[in-house]
C-alpha cells in the first residue's frame, strides 16, 4: 500500500524502512504535521500515517476522504487528536499502536522522579563548573513513600511494579482493577484517595472528556503539601496554569512532565533560535524544581521497532481485508 507519513522525523524513516525490508509497502515521508491546509500534499496514497500532534479533526477527515484516503494509521497509542466519529461517517478506518514498550514510558517516569528528587540536573551542571558542593541538593528516600498511580494499563502497571520494587506503598485508581497488581501488593482506591494520600503522584491514563484537567486547582488543594507530580501520559490531563500557581506557593514540591497541553506547537522541533511565545511553558521552565522533557518517554530502540512493526502489521491487515485488532471506533 502507498502510505504518506506526516510529522516524519529521521528516526521514523530509519525504523519504518527497517521494518519494511520486504518492500511490502511504499512510503513517502513529510516532516510537516497534518492539518487541513496540507492535505493537498496527498497524491495517490490510500493511507496516512500520523503521530500525536497531527490534527485529524472533522475538517481534516473530510479532506482526507476527498483525497481518497481509506485508512488513518496512528503510530502511537493516544488518539485524542482524531475525530473518530467523523472518520466512521467518512468510511475511513483508524488503527493505532496500543502498546509498544510500556517499560520505556514507565522507566522514563521513574527517571523524572529520581532526577527531580536527587537534583541530578543541578549536580551535573555544578560539577561541570568545578563546583563540588552539596548544599541545596538534598532529596528524600523514595523507599517507604506512598506513590499514587492514576491509570493502570500497560504503562501504569509497569510503573506500579517498579515502585513496589523501591519498597513504596502503591495506591492506584482505574476503572478496571488489575488482579495481578493487587496480588503484587497494589491497593486500589478512589481517585480522591490517590490524590489526598500520596507523596508522589504519577499519571498514566488516557485523555478523555472525563480526565481532561483532572489535575486542577481543586484537586491540587486536596494533595499533600510538597507532593511530587509526574506526567508522562497526555498534557491535557493537567491544568498547567493551576500547576504554576501551586509551584509558586509551594503546594507542589516538584513537577516532572514529558507532555504538555500545547505541545503541538513546540515539541519535535528545534526552536532554539527563536523566542518561545508560550508564556505558560516559559514560566514553568523557570522553576528550579521542574523538569520538562519533550515527549521522549517512548524513545527507545525497542519501542521504535515495535511501533514500526505494529503500524505496518495494522496496515497490512487492512489491505488484506483481515480483522483489525487495533482498530478504533
**Residue 21 belongs to a domain with what CATH number?**
3.40.50.720
- Together in a domain, 169 and 93: no
Question: 58-94, pLDDT tens digit by residue?
Answer: 999 999 999 999 999 999 988 989 999 999 999 999 9
Q: What is the mean pLDDT of residues 170-174?
A: 98
pLDDT band (50, 70, 90) for residue 265? confident
121 and 89 fall within a common domain: no
Instruction: Give CA–CA dist 209/198, Å, rounded.
Output: 24
* The pLDDT of residue 16 is above 90: yes
- Assess whether 194 and 222 both reside in one domain: yes
Work out the mean pLDDT of the chain and round it to a whole number: 96
**What angle do helix axes 102-117 and 120-128 make, rounded to 10 degrees?**
60
CA distance 160 to 106: 9
Question: C-alpha dihedral over 305, 306, 308, 313, to 10 degrees?
Answer: 140
Counting the structural domains of the chain, the total is 2
Render pLDDT for 278-296 as a digit per residue (tens, 0 to 9): 999 999 999 999 999 999 9
Q: Are 308 and 321 contained in the same domain?
A: yes
As annotated, the active-site residues are 234, 263, 295
Tell whether 57 and 122 lie within a shared domain: no
Percent of the chain with pLDDT strictly greater than 90: 95
pLDDT at site 136: 95
pLDDT band at 303 (very low <50, low <70, confident <90, very high): very high
Is residue 274 located within the same domain as residue 146? yes
75 lies in the same domain as 214 = no
Report which of 139, 106, 142 is spatially closest to residue 120, judged by C-alpha positions: 139
CA-to-CA distance for 172 and 150, rounded, in angstroms? 6
Inform me whether the pLDDT recorded for 210 exceeds 90: yes
Please say whether the beta carbons of 8 and 73 come within 8 A. no
For residues 270 and 315, membership in a common domain is answered with: no
Which pLDDT score, from 0 to 100, does residue 97 have? 94
Q: What was the pLDDT predicted at 234? A: 93
How far, in Å, CA of 78 to CA of 58, rounded?
A: 17
pLDDT at 264 over 90: no
Residue 192 is predicted with a pLDDT of: 98
pLDDT at 55 over 90: yes
Same domain, 263 and 115: yes
Place of cell 512493526: 309
Residues 51 and 134 occupy one common structural domain: no
Residue 39 shares a structural domain with residue 10: yes
pLDDT of residue 100 exceeding 90:
no
**Domain span including residue 133:** 102-292
- Judge if 119 and 261 occupy the same domain: yes
Amino acid at each position: 500500500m502507498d502510505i504518506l507519513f506526516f510529522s516524519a522525523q529521521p528516526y521514523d524513516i530509519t525504523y519504518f524502512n527497517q521494518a519494511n525490508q520486504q518492500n511490502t509497502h511504499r512510503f513517502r515521508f513529510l516532516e510537516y504535521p497534518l492539518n487541513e491546509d496540507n492535505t493537498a500534499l496527498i497524491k495517490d496514497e490510500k493511507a496516512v500515517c500520523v503521530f500525536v500532534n497531527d490534527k485529524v479533526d472533522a475538517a481534516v477527515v473530510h479532506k482526507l476522504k476527498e483525497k481518497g484516503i481509506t485508512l488513518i494509521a496512528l503510530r502511537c497509542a493516544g488518539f485524542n487528536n482524531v475525530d473518530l466519529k467523523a472518520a466512521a461517517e467518512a468510511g475511513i478506518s483508524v488503527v493505532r499502536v496500543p502498546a509498544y514498550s510500556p517499560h520505556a514510558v514507565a522507566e522514563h517516569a521513574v527517571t523524572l522522579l529520581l532526577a527531580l528528587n536527587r537534583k541530578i540536573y543541578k549536580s551535573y551542571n555544578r560539577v561541570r563548573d568545578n563546583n563540588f558542593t552539596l548544599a541545596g541538593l538534598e532529596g528524600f528516600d523514595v523507599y517507604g513513600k506512598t506513590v499514587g498511580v492514576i491509570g493502570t494499563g500497560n504503562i501504569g502497571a509497569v510503573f506500579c511494579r517498579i515502585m513496589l520494587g523501591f519498597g513504596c506503598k502503591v495506591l492506584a485508581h482505574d476503572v478496571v482493577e488489575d488482579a495481578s497488581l493487587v496480588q503484587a501488593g497494589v491497593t486500589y482506591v478512589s481517585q480522591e484517595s490517590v490524590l489526598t494520600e500520596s507523596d508522589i503522584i504519577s499519571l498514566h491514563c488516557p485523555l478523555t472528556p472525563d480526565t481532561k484537567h483532572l489535575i486542577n486547582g481543586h484537586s491540587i488543594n486536596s494533595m499533600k503539601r510538597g507532593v511530587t507530580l509526574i506526567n508522562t501520559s497526555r498534557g491535557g490531563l493537567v491544568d498547567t496554569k493551576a500547576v504554576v500557581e501551586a509551584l509558586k506557593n509551594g503546594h507542589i514540591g516538584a513537577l516532572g512532565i514529558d507532555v504538555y497541553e500545547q505541545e503541538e506547537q513546540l515539541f519535535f522541533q528545534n526552536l532554539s533560535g527563536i523566542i518561545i511565545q508560550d508564556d505558560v511553558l516559559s514560566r514553568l521552565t523557570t522553576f528550579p524544581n521542574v523538569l520538562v522533557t519533550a515527549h521522549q518517554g517512548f524513545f527507545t530502540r525497542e519501542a521504535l521497532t515495535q511501533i514500526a512493526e505494529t503500524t505496518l502489521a495494522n496496515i497490512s491487515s487492512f489491505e488484506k481485508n483481515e480483522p483489525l485488532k487495533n482498530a478504533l471506533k
